């Protein structure tokens, strides 16, 4: 699966960004990829801790499989669901 996002900014915002960075698109791409990397590592840690505490083997192989298993086993939830519970 591949997901794309489009972000709209004004001409003024674009020109302001061009003053502080070479390529705003590259900045946005890097920011999203890095945040996803951090979230992936956090989920892997939470899932591993969860399975160790239960004394169960980790059968999910690969980061996507671990993320899917973490959702399926209730280790993590979608952010908007967690926010609604507060």
pLDDT > 90: percent of the chain: 80
Categorize the per-residue pLDDT at 5 as very low, low, confident or very high, splitting at 50, 70 and 90: confident
When pLDDT is averaged across residues 68-83 and rounded to a whole number, the result is 91
Looking at the predicted structure, is the pLDDT value of residue 2 above 90?
no
Q: What is the dihedral of CA 42, 43, 49, 53, to 10 degrees?
A: 150
Domain boundaries, the chain: 11-84
> What integer pLDDT is reported at residue 82 of this predicted model?
66
Taking the whole predicted model, whether its pTM rises above 0.95 is answered as: no
Identify the band that residue 80 occupies on the pLDDT scale cut at 50, 70 and 90.
confident
Closest CA to 44 of 25, 61, 20, 26: 61
């Amino acid at each position: 699966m591949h997901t794309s996002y489009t972000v709209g900014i004004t001409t003024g915002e674009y020109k302001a960004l061009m003053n502080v960075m070479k390529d705003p698109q590259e900045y946005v791409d890097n920011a999203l990829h890095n945040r996803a990397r951090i979230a992936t590592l956090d989920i892997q840690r939470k899932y591993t801790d969860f399975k160790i505490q239960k004394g169960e083997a980790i059968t999910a192989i690969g980061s996507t499989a671990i993320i899917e298993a973490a959702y399926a086993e209730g280790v993590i939830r979608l952010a908007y669901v967690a926010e609604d519970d507060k």
